[in-house]
């Protein structure tokens, strides 16, 4: 947005200022007034793509506000930038890279290309290699060094090389009929130790997943796993018990993993957008190649919709505009993602990386400070658990937190339908309560009705009042399966893209993670006592000295 010419820029500034005013007015007016004025509001403020519904009616966005937001999207050249992404342009300008994760779920007729070279065939050839490997693991024709079938697969990766497949394997567990998947990400030795504690290494395959194959956590865990396999089964067994996924194929071969077990991807796939690539190998092993293709098809359906639907009906655009409205026009600093689905328990963590690593930036595409605030803090937990933990703050806290409820109309457990009925009732009740609230008079009358004394009712009533008019979005679909899940994840990917364009930032770099990594490298010899902490800041040096005092020798 901010790389636009000056006249266009001032057009944007005035639109943003107008929207901020509208946002503040909307906060005062609330949502109930909008329903009172238009009882058909659900019809006009909820949007569908087949069996996927996006309900924005419980946000304090009037139809005029939405029109002003669409106008902002047009002025910010959203459609042009989207088209540039799909065309393989190097829109990741600070790293000089194309952003083409959509090609990973494309079909030959989509014709995705980078630098004029079509990428479809290469993508298909990696997918085919993954399919052959997964199928052979699943049917037991690939065996471990001692001739036993693999029962367990441990993915070693972090960030985008962990969160996507870990989230997806849990989300699609009703479709998991292959070897059991485990995920190790943390450099804390406890993670690897606890994960392999119950495993038989002779029936365990390790996948080392790292785009760069340099990430210290992944490399450290992979080396340790390698040593454990060599100790248990002999050095010559290592090749049979490892596979790798990376863009840095030269580095992988140095680790000693045979070439036919190495699956590549490309620099035009960002780490947090890579679950569709070979990084998804653990998911394919768990659910099988066919279901993995359905997962890709679901994402492709969302890509096609994002690419072709008018902005006014375009789900990622609308979700992005609602997010921008909450963050910039209304000034809410965080957003809660609450899937009413235990199997989506890792979705909030996945979206934290997707959203916060993409849009947690304060410098625009023009190298200057962004004119508005940017990405919110993203957090969440599955419902109903969250209701018994932090929902108190959502209903009565001093910060307004827009909530995104995600729920399927049907569960997978046919014999436990009443559980799903209760789950749905709770999900709906929470968004209803957030919007509707309860006046102090209602609270008072309720207590009097239960026989409380007037004095006691008067004293307690303020504590039992709910202001209401707290915004929420509901995303609803028929059932969680590979297709609908792929579509849901792609919806969020494109939403992040939309918000980035409105913020005027590059969503595809992550320079903000560098400094900590650099400092950790310098601190290691200080922690181990090989170097002095004296040239660090006084707090860090002080902490190092106390750690050294406390460490077991």
Ligand X SMILES: O=P(O)(O)OC[C@H]1O[C@](O)(CO)[C@@H](O)[C@@H]1O
Binding region for ligand X (CB under 6 A): 158-161, 210-212, 215, 218, 271-272, 357, 510, 513
Question: Quick one: DSSP state of residue 234?
Answer: -
Kindly tell me which of 217 and 469 has the beta carbon lying closer to ligand X.
217
Give me the least distance between CB of 519 and ligand X, in Å please: 13
Cα 151 to Cα 169: distance, rounded to the nearest angstrom: 16
Kindly tell me which of 474 and 510 has the beta carbon lying closer to ligand X.
510
Question: Quick one: DSSP state of residue 256?
Answer: T
Kindly tell me which of 68 and 507 has the beta carbon lying closer to ligand X.
507
Tally the residues of the chain: 553
Q: What tokens appear for 182 in the block?
A: 């485990």
Give me the least distance between CB of 212 and ligand X, in Å please: 3
DSSP E strand boundaries for 7-69: 46-49, 52-55
Cα 370 to Cα 502: distance, rounded to the nearest angstrom: 10
The one catalytic residue in 121, 236, 388, 418 is: 388
Tell me the helix, strand and coil percentages in the chain, rounded to 5: 60, 10, 30
Q: What tokens appear for 42 in the block?
A: 């659900």
Whether residue 241 lies in the annotated active site = no
Give me the least distance between CB of 182 and ligand X, in Å please: 18
Nearest residue to 224 (alpha-carbon basis) of 156, 148, 151, 165: 156
Kindly tell me which of 81 and 272 has the beta carbon lying closer to ligand X.
272
Give me the least distance between CB of 334 and ligand X, in Å please: 21
Give me the least distance between CB of 485 and ligand X, in Å please: 20
The one catalytic residue in 148, 227, 419, 517 is: 517
Kindly tell me which of 140 and 522 has the beta carbon lying closer to ligand X.
522
Give me the least distance between CB of 523 and ligand X, in Å please: 17
The C-alpha torsion from 274 through 277 and 279 to 285, rounded to 10°, is 140
Phi, psi dihedrals of residue 335, rounded to the nearest 5°: -140, 135
Nearest residue to 245 (alpha-carbon basis) of 261, 222, 223: 261
* SS3 (DSSP) at 249: helix
Whether residue 143 lies in the annotated active site = no
Q: What tokens appear for 311 in the block?
A: 């902005």
Nearest residue to 226 (alpha-carbon basis) of 212, 248, 244: 244
Kindly tell me which of 87 and 187 has the beta carbon lying closer to ligand X.
187
Task: Quote the radius of gyration of the chain (alpha carbons, Å).
Answer: 26
Give me the least distance between CB of 272 and ligand X, in Å please: 5
Cα 415 to Cα 355: distance, rounded to the nearest angstrom: 37
Give me the least distance between CB of 475 and ligand X, in Å please: 25
Nearest residue to 504 (alpha-carbon basis) of 318, 333, 328: 328
Give me the least distance between CB of 217 and ligand X, in Å please: 8
The one catalytic residue in 58, 217, 357, 361 is: 357
Kindly tell me which of 248 and 452 has the beta carbon lying closer to ligand X.
248
Whether residue 357 lies in the annotated active site = yes
Cα 180 to Cα 503: distance, rounded to the nearest angstrom: 42
Question: In this structure, are residues 45 and 54 in contact, taking their beta carbons and an 8 Å threshold?
Answer: no
Kindly tell me which of 215 and 314 has the beta carbon lying closer to ligand X.
215
Q: What tokens appear for 433 in the block?
A: 């309560």
Phi, psi dihedrals of residue 114, rounded to the nearest 5°: -125, 130
Question: In this structure, are residues 163 and 353 in contact, taking their beta carbons and an 8 Å threshold?
Answer: yes
Q: What tokens appear for 459 in the block?
A: 């004293």
Kindly tell me which of 159 and 437 has the beta carbon lying closer to ligand X.
159
Cα 504 to Cα 498: distance, rounded to the nearest angstrom: 10
Residue 111 CA from chain centroid, whole number: 27
Question: In this structure, are residues 85 and 100 in contact, taking their beta carbons and an 8 Å threshold?
Answer: yes
Active site residues: 357, 388, 517
């Amino acid at each position: 947005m901010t790389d636009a010419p000056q006249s266009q820029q001032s057009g944007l500034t005035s639109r943003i200022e107008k929207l901020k005013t509208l946002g503040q007015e909307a906060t005062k007016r609330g949502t109930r007034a909008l329903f009172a004025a238009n009882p058909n509001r659900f019809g006009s403020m909820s949007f569908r793509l087949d069996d996927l519904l996006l309900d924005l009616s419980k946000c304090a966005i009037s139809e005029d506000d939405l029109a002003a937001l669409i106008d902002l999207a047009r002025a910010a050249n959203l459609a042009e930038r989207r088209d540039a992404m799909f065309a393989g342009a190097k829109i990741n300008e600070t790293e000089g890279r194309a952003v083409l994760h959509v090609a990973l779920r494309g079909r030959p007729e989509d014709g995705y290309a980078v630098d004029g070279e079509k990428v479809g065939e290469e993508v298909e050839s990696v997918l085919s290699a993954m399919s052959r490997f997964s199928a052979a693991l699943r049917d037991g024709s690939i065996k471990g060094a001692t001739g036993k079938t693999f029962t367990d697969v441990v993915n070693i990766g972090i960030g985008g090389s962990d969160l996507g497949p870990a989230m997806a394997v849990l989300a699609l567990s009703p479709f998991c009929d292959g070897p059991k998947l485990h995920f190790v990400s943390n450099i804390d030795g406890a993670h690897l130790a606890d994960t392999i504690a119950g495993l038989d290494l002779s029936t365990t395959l390790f996948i080392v997943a790292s785009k760069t194959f340099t990430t210290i956590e992944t490399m450290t865990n992979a080396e340790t796993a390698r040593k454990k396999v060599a100790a248990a089964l002999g050095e010559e067994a290592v090749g049979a018990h490892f596979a790798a996924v990376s863009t840095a194929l030269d580095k992988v071969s140095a680790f000693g993993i045979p070439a036919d077990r190495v699956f590549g991807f490309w620099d035009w796939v960002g780490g947090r957008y890579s679950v569709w690539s070979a990084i998804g190998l653990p998911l394919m092993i768990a659910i099988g190649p066919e279901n993995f293709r359905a997962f890709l098809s679901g994402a492709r359906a969302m890509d096609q919709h994002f690419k072709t639907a008018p902005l006014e009906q375009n789900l990622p655009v609308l979700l992005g505009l609602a997010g921008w409205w909450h963050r910039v026009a209304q000034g809410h600093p965080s957003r809660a993602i609450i899937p009413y689905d235990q199997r989506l328990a890792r979705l909030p963590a996945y979206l934290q990386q997707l959203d916060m690593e993409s849009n947690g930036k304060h410098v625009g595409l023009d190298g200057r400070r962004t004119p508005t605030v940017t990405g919110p803090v993203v957090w969440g937990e599955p419902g109903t658990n969250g209701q018994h933990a932090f929902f108190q703050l959502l209903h009565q806290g001093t910060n307004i937190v827009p909530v995104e409820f995600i729920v399927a109309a049907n569960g997978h457990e046919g014999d436990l339908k009443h559980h799903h009925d209760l789950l749905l009732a709770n999900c709906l009740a929470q968004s209803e309560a957030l919007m509707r609230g309860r006046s102090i008079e209602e609270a008072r009358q309720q207590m009097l009705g239960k026989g409380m004394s007037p004095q006691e009712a008067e004293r307690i009533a303020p504590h039992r009042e709910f202001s209401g008019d707290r915004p929420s979005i509901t995303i609803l679909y028929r059932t969680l399966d590979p297709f609908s899940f792929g579509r849901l994840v792609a919806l969020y990917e494109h939403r992040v893209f939309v918000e980035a364009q409105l913020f005027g930032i590059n969503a595809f770099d992550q320079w903000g993670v560098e400094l900590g990594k650099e400092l950790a490298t310098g601190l290691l010899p200080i922690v181990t006592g090989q170097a002095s902490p004296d040239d660090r800041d006084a707090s860090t040096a002080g902490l190092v000295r106390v750690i050294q005092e406390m460490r077991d020798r």
